[in-house]
Amino acid sequence: MTGATCGQRGYVVHEGCDHIFFVGFLGAGKSTLARNLGRLFRRDYVDTDRLVERLQRMTVPEIFERKGEEAFRRDETAALETLRERKSLLVSCGGGIVECAESCRAMHEMGAVVFLDGDLDDSLRQIQHPEKRPDLGSFEHARELYWHRRPLYQQTADYVVDIRNKDFDEVAGDAARLLWEEGLL
């Protein structure tokens, strides 16, 4: 395992930045998973959309409306860069973070990327506030966006957790098991 050594009593001691980044389509459960795994494993968790909102002092929809998606992606990369000096975070990433090569590179430099792989219909059912998802648009646009981003998620991922036909407890268990077995938690 690169960047890790076995410390006292067999605990894995990570060196440098060792974040776990959760990526996937809108509504995949990235934020809920990061928050719950953070509580379970006593690790801090952050959400890139919330980081951007704090840095810009605007909501994500306001940023999209006033500055546009391209500016939002730059802000997203800047938000990721603020995590370099921290350790062991569980990071829930916005659904479009894979659109920017710089963001993907930054995630790989700082840790491991986990793709929560699910179906479009499942994701759309989970979205409780579509008005807060400025890149979602109509169903047709969402479908096009899903199929555009899917290969980007696959390409960026170090690990994949299949979330199809599973409830949250099953997904959390699968993710925790995988990350524990890989020495990441």
C-alpha–C-alpha distance, residues 183 and 185, integer Å: 6
Where are the extended beta strands (E) located within 52-167?
90-92, 111-117, 159-162
Predicted confidence at residue 16, as pLDDT, reads 61
C-alpha–C-alpha distance, residues 34 and 21, integer Å: 9
Banded model confidence at residue 185, pLDDT cuts 50, 70, 90? confident
Cα dihedral 95, 113, 171, 180, rounded to 10, equals: -160
Mean pLDDT of 127-137: 56
Report the relative pairing of strands 4-6 and 12-14 from DSSP bridges: antiparallel
pLDDT in tens, 136-174: 666 777 888 899 999 999 999 999 999 998 989 999 999
C-alpha–C-alpha distance, residues 39 and 99, integer Å: 29
- Which of 60, 61, 147, 48 minimizes the C-alpha distance to 103? 48
Within 10 Å of residue 37's Cβ, how many Cβ atoms?
A: 19
Residue with tokens 């938000």: 79
